Amino acid sequence: MSTQARPGSATPAEETSPELTVLADAKQVSNAAAEEFVCLARRSIESKGEFDVALAGGSTPRAAYEILAKDAAKLPWEKIHIFFGDERCVPPDHSDSNYGMARDALLAHVAIPANNVHRMKGEVDAPAAAEQYEGDLRRHFRLSNGNPPRFDLVMLGMGDDGHTASLFPNSIGLTESSRLVVANWVEKFKQHRLTLTFPVLNNAAEIMFLVAGTAKAKVIGEIFVKKPLFDRYPVQQVKPANGRALWLLDRAAAQALPARR
C-alpha cells in the first residue's frame, strides 16, 4: 500500500494495490479529486480522443464537481462522456437524484453535449432502468456479450456501513457476476437503487474514492489497518484487476491509520 501517492501521479497500469492519500479536510479531498479528474481526462483524451467517467453521488464528490465547473475551461467537455456509478430511484429533478446533483453542480455549467451525458433513469421501473443502462453501456463501449466496459475513471464514495456505489452490505447485487447494472434492493431503505456492478468497477483503469468525515474512520481502520482475510464490507470487493485504486481521505476518515511521517 502506498501512502505517498499524489493526485495525477503516473502509475503503471498493472498497479493493483490501493494508494492512500490523506488530506487535511473534505475541501482538500474535493480539490485533489478535481485535480486528478483533470489530469486523467487530459491523459485519456490525448491517448484515445475521449474520456469516459462514472460519477459518484455524495457530498464530497459534489464539492469536486463544483470545482470542476469553475475550472471548466481546463477541459474539452465535448470529448468527455459522463456516466453514473449509481442512482436513487427518483426522477431527475428530485433532490435525491445523483444525476440532478451532478447537473446542478457541474453539467449545467460546462459545454458538454446532451448526448455525452448518460444518466440512469431513476424515474422508471428499476429492473427496466438497469437493463436500459446496460444497453447504453454496451452501445457506447461497443461491447460484445460478456465483456464489461473499461472506464477511464470511476469515482466512488463509501458509506459508513462500507457500501460503495449502491452496493450495500448483504444486498443481492454484491454477488452479481455477469450483469453490468442491477436494480439492487436495499433493505435499510426498503427500496431499489440502480448500480454498476463489481465486474464493471473492477475493470476500470482508475478508481478514485472520496472519503471524508469521522463516521468513515471505523471502516477505513478495519480495511487498511486490521486487513481482514475476508471481505467484510462491500467496498473491499473493489479490486481493479488491471487498474489503480486511489483513496483520497481526509484526516478525520483516516484517523485510525498509523501516523504518517
Give the interface with ligand 6PG as residue ranges (CB under 6 A): 56-60, 85-86, 98, 157-159, 163-165
Longest distance between any two alpha carbons in the chain, whole Å: 51
Across the chain, the runs of DSSP E, i.e. the strands, are 19-23, 51-55, 80-84, 86-88, 153-156, 181-186, 191-196, 206-211, 244-250
Closest residue (Cβ) to ligand 6PG? 157
3-state secondary structure of 68: helix
Q: Which residue, 57 or 240, is less far from ligand 6PG as judged by CB?
A: 57
Q: What is the 3-state secondary structure (H, E, C) of 141-172?
A: CCCCCCCCCCCCEEEECCCCCCCECCECCCCH
Of 149 and 159, nearer to ligand 6PG (C-beta) is 159
Q: Give the sign of the dihedral formed by CA 78, CA 165, CA 40, CA 238.
A: negative
Residue placing its CB nearer to ligand 6PG in the complex, 209 or 224: 209
Cβ-based nearer residue to ligand 6PG, 17 or 59: 59
Closest C-alpha among 165, 156, 149 to residue 245: 156
| Cα–Cα distance measured from residue 167 to residue 153, given in angstroms and rounded to the nearest whole number | 18
CB of 98 to ligand 6PG, least distance (A): 5
- Please state the closest distance from residue 234 (CB atom) to ligand 6PG, in A: 9
CB of 220 vs ligand 6PG, minimal distance in Å:
12
148 sits in the region (left: phi over 0; alpha: psi -120 to 50; else beta) called beta
By beta-carbon proximity to ligand 6PG, the closer residue of 143 and 174 is: 174
CB of 2 to ligand 6PG, least distance (A): 23
CB of 198 to ligand 6PG, least distance (A): 14
Residue 63 CB, nearest distance to ligand 6PG (Å)? 10
b/e per residue 197-235 (b: at least 16 CB within 10 A): bbbbbbbbbbbbbbbbbeebbebbebbbeeeeeeeebbb
Nearest distance from residue 101's CB to ligand 6PG, in Å? 9
Neighbours of 97 (CB within 10 A): 23
